[in-house]
């Protein structure tokens, strides 16, 4: 596919990703700007959406050469990309059928399908692996990933191949299983590392005997996908007896930032993304909070240039106190996802409820599920086109299949779902129990 890195370029880049932390801030910045120029030229030539955007703003691609020039490029929102047909956003020369496609269905209230080539995926994996090696990942390690299942489990030959090439195996554990079964699965897999949503991890830490958790003899735990509060971290560290490191990732960018192993700040994956923190459209000063806008430096199949990720973070220093050359952020106010405790004693992860609905109802643009009482749930939907009564019945039936007959479920089609007072969009919240109740959120 034209525009896709050659295998040689992937190998060189992977090597660079490993050694870049030693090269210092200047080298990182040079890499970002060189990559930015390639990306802008490519997007203007081959992606109709960006050509039209640049032309409409009278911006010649040659005028975007440095990080400072980047602010000339208008910001693109998820809502804009979500509404565009494939041929507007996938670069000419890439065959969409050969790209991996992931729809951010469960994790975000506003779905978008992110496409990338296999080789682009390898590079982003290398960036993620670098962070894991910094935490103590070793060759031969099994990593158990406790998450909502997507797609088929990997066949055994692929696991073997991965073990040979990368030296590690990822094993998926369904986070919707009852917690004792999740722990039993971990005992079977004997992982050195567990990756988990903070909400599920906190529930395991609260509900399972710590002696059982310590007997797993993990080396460390990483959390991703949702906000890890200090209380959740304390509970998990105490129960498992190992350090918990938080990483900040999204389907759009893969690893955006990872917690400094010496703690305090998050290192930004500067060689994979140009991460801007904007406050009212201007760059936030260190210590100031703002919205994350990212430019994906390895995404040429479906470029994301100044794409508004939407999370709120505090901008940190250039270069971390630990000596790493990466820029830093802190206080990531990403997804806050409440689980739903039901009258029959089950605690349902919201993805369990919404993923089948989203898969069956392509007309859903935005979604919010709110648990008002143990037996009462409301789902707000922004729809296009407007659903028929039959389609709404379908939503009710799919919800009833997950929630059971004891829960009253109501669907509301609304023109818009308002943001929280903090400015965040919270797709799943519970008035019954929330790990995020009372946490101080600032704008
Ligand atoms: Zn550091």
Distance (angstroms) between ligand 1 centre and the Cα of 135 equals 11
Of 209, 314, 320, 191, which is closest to residue 263 (Cα–Cα)?
A: 320
Distance 267 CA to ligand 1 centre (A): 6
Per-residue model confidence (pLDDT) at position 169: 83
pLDDT of 439 > 80? The answer is no
Rounded distance from Cα 268 to ligand 1 centre (Å): 10
Closest listed residue to residue 369, CA positions, set 331, 411, 326: 411
Ligand 1 centroid to 116 CA: how many Å? 30
Give the Å distance between the CA of 168 and the centre of ligand 1.
24
* Alpha helices (H) along 105-197: 118-135, 156-166, 179-189
Q: How far apart are CA 366 and CA 348, in angstroms?
A: 20
Residue 134 neighbours by CB under 8 Å, 6+ apart: 258, 261
CA of 270 to the centre of ligand 1 (A): 13
State residue 441's pLDDT score. Answer: 47
**Contact between residue 326 and residue 267 where contact means Cβ atoms under 8 Å apart:** yes
| Predicted pLDDT of residue 159 | 67
Task: Tell me the C-alpha distance between 133 and 39, whole Å.
Answer: 29
Ligand 1 centroid distance, CA of 71 (Å) = 27
Contact status, residue 244 vs residue 230, Cβ threshold 8 Å: no
pLDDT digits (tens, 9 = 90+) for 305-315: 999 988 889 99
Say what the pLDDT of residue 1 is.
73
Question: Judging by DSSP bridges, how do beta strands 220-223 and 193-196 pair with one another?
Answer: parallel
Q: Is the preceding omega at residue 385 within 30 degrees of 0, hence cis? A: yes
Distance 128 CA to ligand 1 centre (A): 15
Do the Cβ atoms of 299 and 102 come closer than 8 Å? Answer: no
| Dihedral Cα 186, 187, 189, 192, nearest 10 deg | 80
What is the structure's pLDDT at 438?
61
Per-residue confidence at 443, pLDDT binned at 50, 70, 90?
Answer: very low
Cα-to-centroid distance, 230 and ligand 1 (Å): 19
* 3 state SS of 158: helix
Can you read off the two tokens belonging to residue 153?
A: 């489990």
Give the distance (Å) from ligand 1 centre to CA of residue 332. 16
Give me the mean pLDDT over the 46-50 stretch: 98
Ligand 1 centroid to residue 317 C-alpha, Å: 10
Separation of CA 325 and ligand 1 centre (Å): 8
**CA 416 to ligand 1 center in whole angstroms:** 40
Distance 193 CA to ligand 1 centre (A): 21
User: Residues 351-365: what's their mean pLDDT?
Assistant: 86
C-alpha 264 to ligand 1 mean position (Å): 8
What is the DSSP code (8-state) at residue 180? H
Report residue 302's pLDDT band, with 50, 70 and 90 as the boundaries.
Answer: very high
Tell me what the mean pLDDT of segment 339-347 comes to.
90
Q: How far is the CA of 261 from the centre of ligand 1 (A)?
A: 6
Cα(315) to centroid of ligand 1, in Å? Answer: 14
CA of 316 to the centre of ligand 1 (A): 11
Average pLDDT over residues 161-169: 71
Residue bearing the bigger pLDDT, 301 or 177: 301
The single-letter DSSP state of residue 96 is: G
CA of 4 to the centre of ligand 1 (A): 32
pTM for the whole thing? 0.83
- Across 39-53, 273-287, 422-436, least confident range: 422-436
Q: Ligand 1: distance of its center to the CA of 211 in Å?
A: 32
Ligand 1: distance of its center to the CA of 205 in Å?
27
- 328 CA distance to ligand 1 centroid (A)? 8
Distance in Å, CA 191 to ligand 1 centroid: 26
pLDDT on residue 157: 72
Four-residue CA torsion sign, 286, 291, 70, 58: negative
Banded pLDDT at 316 (limits 50, 70, 90):
very high
Q: What CA–CA distance (Å, rounded) separates 190 from 34?
A: 43
CA of residue 258 to ligand 1 center, whole Å? 9
Q: Per residue in 235-288, pLDDT tens? A: 999 999 999 999 999 889 999 999 999 977 999 999 999 999 998 889 999 999
362 token code pair: 């392509």
Model pLDDT, residue 150: 66
On whether the CB atoms of residues 375 and 343 are closer than 8 A, the answer is yes
pLDDT number for residue 420: 67
Distances (CA, A) of 118 to 46, 97, 130, 175, 372: 19, 12, 19, 26, 43
Q: What's the CA-to-centroid distance between 412 and ligand 1, angstroms?
A: 46
Q: 265 CA distance to ligand 1 centroid (A)?
A: 6
Q: What angle do CA 209, 215, 221 make, to 5 degrees?
A: 90
- How far away, in angstroms, is 172 Cα from ligand 1 center? 29
Least confident range of 187-196, 212-221, 358-367, 434-443:
434-443
Q: Is 288 helix (H, G, I), strand (E, B) or coil?
A: coil
pLDDT digits (tens, 9 = 90+) for 73-129: 999 998 899 889 999 999 999 999 999 988 775 445 567 889 999 999 999 999 999
Ligand 1 midpoint to CA 310 (Å): 24
């Amino acid at each position: 596919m034209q525009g896709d890195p050659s295998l040689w370029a992937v190998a060189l880049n992977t090597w660079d990703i490993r050694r870049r932390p030693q090269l210092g801030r200047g080298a990182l910045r040079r890499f970002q700007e060189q990559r930015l120029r390639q990306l802008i030229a490519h997007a203007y030539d081959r992606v109709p959406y960006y050509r039209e955007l640049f032309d409409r703003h009278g911006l010649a691609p040659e005028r975007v050469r440095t990080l400072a020039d980047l602010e000339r490029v208008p910001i693109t929102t998820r809502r804009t990309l979500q509404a565009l047909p494939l041929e507007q956003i996938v670069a000419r020369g890439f065959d969409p059928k050969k790209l991996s496609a992931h729809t951010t269905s469960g994790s975000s209230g506003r779905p978008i399908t992110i496409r990338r080539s296999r080789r682009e995926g390898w590079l982003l994996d290398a960036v993620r692996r670098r962070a894991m090696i910094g935490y103590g990942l070793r060759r031969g390690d099994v990593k158990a990933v406790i998450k909502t299942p997507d797609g088929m489990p990997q066949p055994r030959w692929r696991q073997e191949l991965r073990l040979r090439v990368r030296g590690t195996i990822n094993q998926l554990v369904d986070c919707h299983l009852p917690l004792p079964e999740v722990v039993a699965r971990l005992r079977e897999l004997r992982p050195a590392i567990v990756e988990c949503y903070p909400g599920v991890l906190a529930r395991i830490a609260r509900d399972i005997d710590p002696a059982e958790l310590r007997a797993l003899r993990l080396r460390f735990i990483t959390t991703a996908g949702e906000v890890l509060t200090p209380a959740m971290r304390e509970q998990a560290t105490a129960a498992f007896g190992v350090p918990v490191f938080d990483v900040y990732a999204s389907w759009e960018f893969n690893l955006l930032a990872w917690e400094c192993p010496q703690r305090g700040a998050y290192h930004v994956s500067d060689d994979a993304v140009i991460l801007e923190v904007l406050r009212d459209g201007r760059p936030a000063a260190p210590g100031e909070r703002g919205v994350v806008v990212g430019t994906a430096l390895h995404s040429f199949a479906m470029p994301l240039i100044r794409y508004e990720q939407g999370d709120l973070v505090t901008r940190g220093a250039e270069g971390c106190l630990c000596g790493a050359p990466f820029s830093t952020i802190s206080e990531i106010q990403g997804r806050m996802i409440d689980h739903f405790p039901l009258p029959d004693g089950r605690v349902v992860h919201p993805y369990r409820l919404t993923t089948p609905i989203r898969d069956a109802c392509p007309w859903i643009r935005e979604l919010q599920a709110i648990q008002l009482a143990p037996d009462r749930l409301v789902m707000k939907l922004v729809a296009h086109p407007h659903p028929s009564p039959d389609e709404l019945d379908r939503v009710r039936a799919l919800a009833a299949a997950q929630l059971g007959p004891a829960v009253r479920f109501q669907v509301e089609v609304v023109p818009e779902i308002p943001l929280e007072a903090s400015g965040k969009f919270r797709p799943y919240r519970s008035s019954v129990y929330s790990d995020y109740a009372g946490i101080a959120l600032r704008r």
